[in-house]
Structure 1
């Protein structure tokens, strides 16, 4: 048997999945690392820890391979997008990895967003003006740490840094480049206007390559740590959202992919760029002739985790002899749709789509003295799903109503959450058997790179069984009453977000 490894470099951990040559899962591996946060909006990672995590999961996967009878055909990568690392002349990190979740560039982003230049930059790059993007992070560094930025010889993201560590080549795949706010979606090259306003030279940035591009010739050090053959091809792949679409077969315009992990995303693949006149959605390149349109949401499973930690008591968990999340799901399943008239806006971490407001904050609306913890738990899950439904509606406005929705992520392990998503969207939701769609998407790109398949559509033959959830009419009727109110309250509170965020930062 021959093998493939799909690697997904995430915000708090790196996963690897070992596949057979037919893309059947053999074993999964994971290695965590810290996300450093503080009240200023900082959200950073240690690049050294991330390199070690990638090396470890590849090593662990390689230990399962008998190289006497089989071959490791390729290792292919999915990674979180919109990261930024400043490097010196020897490609040594001068900063930690500044992640998509870092909001310290919010003032620079606000100024750019309000200007005509900001509208033009969005149209040129397909990247909404927001603190998440490396474009606004570079503007922030230019204002707040000009000496540090001036001393940087190279500007990297986590994937181009990893590949440099392993191969001493400085390249990045087109999908990661497209997410930076620095690449022109019409030319496929670094945008001259983005370079001008940030003061960055083109030669400081990695060379943009297709996702199927291979790197071969591991350094001796990387080869030793990974324990795999030195000539193993490493395929650049794409960013995690695009590969999640690919990994669930959602690569046609009639299928929307939704991912709910720590954060969330709603995406559809098209054969041409689509720019939203209201600037609600992104448009990123995936591969030659493929684009992904959609919206990323800051608030997904992390908000639910917050709610479970604060609303499920240890004594109740002990009495029921279960874990907090299982108990919370059981409680939610026993509550009526609409949480007895309680609405939750889930903006605990600011918000990207649909608000693009790093100052957004969470709130309960309609709370009265009859509401219980159970109502609050239900409202939290509903609020996350209604926020997703708002972005889903924007996607439908631009590309048309889909015939199906495919959803993946950690939420998919919860029966009540699966059904609720179908009810809130009023659309059938399919859940693939394999939750690690990003790794499967990465491996599909490797198979195309190796000539094992002729097109990325071959992934449709690799996906396992799916579970389907149809909307329940009674619940749909309830949510169709509450969703407009959710959006109305969201609009009413938006003007107050900057004030409360400022007061919180003064503490």
Structure 2
């Protein structure tokens, strides 16, 4: 289906469900930031069932953001069981579980594999002072060139340094530092391993050799033995512990594919696996990514992009922002509670906000929103940046603000598109993934800002579908991961309105100028916040 820029209709998930079969099935399990989802696919990639569950983020003073790994584990077991029950398949018909998870999490384990900490996630900024100090030193460039990861608070590299200084007793007791996915697979199989994909998003793995980086370990004074063994993402683990296999409703002999990080699997699941194709994601956060056949790094001294491993000697060059759907959710929760109450009548607060935004013209009648509510990563890497409504006047209403939020996040994503193309080369197509694909208006806004067509894959759960494709590769059903593109079908195509693009080009220049003009103010306000906390 093709949608031109004039359409504003809302869509649901658009998931196509196949017939219930007893043929071998593959379950893609996506462990996300705010919840997990289990999707059952038949051998052709049709969805038989999909079930999800949420879990909380525990926010702590000073920028802490953690999650309980046991809660995540129990929710994962529950959604797998629920999806199998929905699909009405037998335990023996599940050929494999294929895992996807968020990048950048860190859990400290003792010598018996018991957590000494909760999972410290990518949103945690308590290591900011250490990351900023190292970014100003000459060694930061060498570490970036080795690992593909800029020095930022998001990465386990910085979190380990923070823990060593702020939680020295925990650090001393730590036998292993692991990711949330490594902990889940350890619980399921007793094997303490980490896939090279998730490891490549730690700031600790050499992106060229696909093993722990000696320069980084030496700098941190971190013994290699405190890290688990990196393995290929197509590695099959097992057997699964019988008690957990029963809870999930599968056989303990089911293959457990160790899998990849969620972002790179979204490329695989959306079909953005060629050099000319870019995946654009807005979920909790936002990112743009291109698959490449060798590591590619930013030559700019600020190291604005990252490079992670996918599989089959393919890497992903990308850039990410903290400001995505979480910002729209913040706006809904703080300013639109009355609208969200309408959900009891069959419509969500998001749907109503989208309708509000659709009633307002481009630029929200002189209003621009900087969406930096949780510091910011690419392209500025500025932990002091904060959110701003610029141009606010007495005539502006909630409807204008709703439109401004969607446009501000989209400007932020557009800056990433430009940045990744600067590093990895020009692309011909954009493929959209993430929760924002449920909003026709939001995709239209982004298409108009970019002046580019945007393709929407038929399976909205691109990460889970990527896990499915990876499992087929692990099971020997595909020669390479790029063959998986033939399984990806396109549901819709959004074409830009070129007249709208001209207006947005002017607004984007203003957006960038506002940020530059406020850099000094951001720094001064950060100093004020720090002083106020001390007092």
TM-score range, shorter chain: over 0.9
Kept in 2, the 8 Å contact 1:16–1:29? The answer is yes
Of 77, 93, 114 in structure 2, the residue corresponding to residue 71 of structure 1 is 93
Q: Runs of at least 4 residues of structure 1 off by over 6 A?
A: none
Mark the CA change 1:112 to 1:68 in structure 2 (over 3 Å): closer, same or farther: closer
Q: CA deviation at 1:401?
A: 2.0
Partners of 1:267 and 1:454 lie apart in 2 by 23
Match of 2:360 in 1: 335
Kept in 1, the 8 Å contact 2:48–2:87? The answer is no
Match of 1:178 in 2: 200
Correspondence list, 1:199-214, <5 A:
199-214=221-236
Could you give the per-residue CA deviations for residues 64-96 of structure 1, whole angstroms, max 9, x where no partner exists? 466669621100011000000000000100000
Partners of 2:348 and 2:76 lie apart in 1 by 30
Kept in 1, the 8 Å contact 2:103–2:201? The answer is yes
Alignment: residue pair count: 507
Partners of 1:388 and 1:194 lie apart in 2 by 31
Kept in 2, the 8 Å contact 1:130–1:357? The answer is no
Match of 2:106 in 1: 84
Partners of 2:75 and 2:352 lie apart in 1 by 32
Kept in 1, the 8 Å contact 2:97–2:255? The answer is yes
Match of 2:394 in 1: 369
Partners of 1:412 and 1:124 lie apart in 2 by 35
Could you give the per-residue CA deviations for residues 363-400 of structure 1, whole angstroms, max 9, x where no partner exists? 01122333222222111110000000111101111122
Partners of 2:257 and 2:339 lie apart in 1 by 49
Partners of 1:319 and 1:227 lie apart in 2 by 33
Partners of 1:470 and 1:189 lie apart in 2 by 43
More displaced 10-residue stretch of structure 1: 244-253 or 316-325: 316-325
Q: CA deviation at 1:317?
A: 7.0
Structure 2 unaligned segments of length 5 or more: list them.
Answer: 1-22
Q: CA deviation at 1:290?
A: 0.5
3-state SS of 1:338 partner = helix
Q: Does 2:280 align with 1:258?
A: yes
Match of 2:5 in 1: none
Q: Does 2:29 align with 1:7?
A: yes
Match of 1:25 in 2: 47
Partners of 1:360 and 1:395 lie apart in 2 by 21
Match of 2:384 in 1: 359
Q: CA deviation at 1:315?
A: 7.2
Q: CA RMSD in A?
A: 1.9
Kept in 1, the 8 Å contact 2:196–2:233? The answer is yes
Correspondence list, 1:122-271, <5 A:
122-271=144-293
Of 441, 465, 472 in structure 2, the residue corresponding to residue 416 of structure 1 is 441
Q: Does 2:371 align with 1:346?
A: yes
Of 405, 409, 418 in structure 2, the residue corresponding to residue 380 of structure 1 is 405
3-state SS of 2:133 partner = helix
Partners of 2:278 and 2:108 lie apart in 1 by 35
Of 317, 321, 326 in structure 2, the residue corresponding to residue 297 of structure 1 is 321
3-state SS of 1:419 partner = helix
Could you give the per-residue CA deviations for residues 96-145 of structure 1, whole angstroms, max 9, x where no partner exists? 00001100000000001111011211111110111000001111111212
Mark the CA change 1:216 to 1:330 in structure 2 (over 3 Å): closer, same or farther: same
Q: CA deviation at 1:344?
A: 0.6
More displaced 10-residue stretch of structure 1: 494-503 or 254-263: 494-503
